[in-house]
């Protein structure tokens, strides 16, 4: 997956694509070569999702008692 293409893909699109890949991998008619290529694409999508979720997590704002907001921290 190209970096530019990955950056433009939304989290929802990536999840949908992962669902399609999973369905194809579960199909016994998928060849070994195709399964390996799908697996590689799936791993790249999982990495993309993880990065996007990490970015979102860092942007989550936490409401303080006085009504102000601050960056989310663990």
**Torsion sign across C-alpha atoms 24, 27, 30, 35:** positive
Number of structural domains, the chain? Answer: 1
- CATH of residue 61: 1.10.287
Angstrom distance (rounded) from CA 29 to CA 69: 53
- Give the tens place of pLDDT for each residue, 10-66: 999 999 999 999 999 999 999 999 999 999 999 999 999 999 998 887 777 555 566
2: left (phi over 0), alpha (psi -120 to 50) or beta: beta
Structure confidence at residue 30 (pLDDT)? 95
pTM (2 decimals)?
0.69
- Give the tens place of pLDDT for each residue, 39-52: 999 999 999 999 99
Residues with Cβ within 8 Å of 6's Cβ and at least 6 positions away in sequence, in order, are 44, 48
Q: Which residue has the tokens 């942007």?
A: 59
Containing structural domain, residue 41? 3-71
């Amino acid at each position: 997956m190209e970096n530019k293409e990955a950056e433009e893909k939304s989290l929802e699109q990536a999840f949908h694509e992962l669902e399609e890949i999973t369905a194809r991998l579960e199909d016994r008619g998928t060849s070994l070569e195709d399964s390996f290529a799908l697996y590689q694409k799936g791993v790249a999508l999982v990495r993309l999702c993880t990065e996007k979720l990490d970015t979102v997590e860092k942007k989550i704002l936490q409401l303080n008692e006085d009504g102000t907001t601050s960056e989310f921290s663990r």
